[in-house]
Amino acid sequence: MTWKSYAAASGATVLAGWLASTPPVAVVENRPAAQSRASRATTSPSSDIVEQASRLQARIRRETAYVRPERNPFQFEATRRAVEPAVTVAEPALSSEPSAPVANVAPPVTLAGVAEDSLQTGVERTAILSSASGVLLVRVGDEVLGQYRVAAVEEGAVDLLRLADGSILRLSLAR
């Protein structure tokens, strides 16, 4: 095909599309004026408005008191978990003096997981702890939050030595 035939085919397509897309012409009926006035008189617009207003008044909802939502989707907070992490407190191993009873207070950290590195000398484990300040990766001998020292890292648990009184706090993975 030549450029002239392309132009003719394109022009015909545009013309057909234009003719097909024009809106239909509305037909106006010529009614006598007396008939239109009579139809207006039979339906009273004021009664229709009153009826619609009463219907809308019946559907208005009553205002409820504001209730603060339990959760803020724009702020990260620790949520209530269905399963609490297993925490056991052992007696102090280093001191021979009788210690004060330990309060059953939730620790400031939880055990999120344990990572293992295979070395030539054996396996070295790293505990992954979760605290309010973020995620902590600790090994044996590291201090945690200035209150604890990591005594042992096992496959599913970590032992934290409390620096203040020498008691051992055992954190285990929730199953």
Burial 95-124, CB ≥16 within 10 A → b, else e: eeeeeeeeeeeebebbbbebeeeeeeeeee
Question: For the chain, how many structural domains are there in total?
Answer: 1
In a domain, 103, yes or no: yes
Q: Are 152 and 159 in contact (CB under 8 A)?
A: yes
CATH of the domain at 135: 2.30.30
What tens digit of pLDDT does each residue of 83-111 get? 445 555 555 555 555 555 555 566 788 88
What tens digit of pLDDT does each residue of 73-89 get? 787 765 544 444 555 55
Q: Which residue has the tokens 């003096």?
A: 97
In a domain, 59, yes or no: no
In a domain, 40, yes or no: no
What tens digit of pLDDT does each residue of 58-75 get? 666 666 677 888 887 787
Whole-prediction pTM value? Answer: 0.40
Query: Around Cβ 169, how many Cβ atoms within 10 Å?
Result: 20
Q: What pLDDT score does 82 carry?
A: 43
In a domain, 54, yes or no: no
Sheet strands (E) in the chain: 87-90, 109-118, 123-131, 134-138, 143-144, 148-153, 157-162, 168-172
In a domain, 126, yes or no: yes
In a domain, 141, yes or no: yes
Domain that holds residue 166: 87-172
Per-residue tokens: 27: 């037909």
In a domain, 96, yes or no: yes
- Residue type for position 160: L
In a domain, 12, yes or no: no
Question: Residue 113 pLDDT more than 70?
Answer: yes
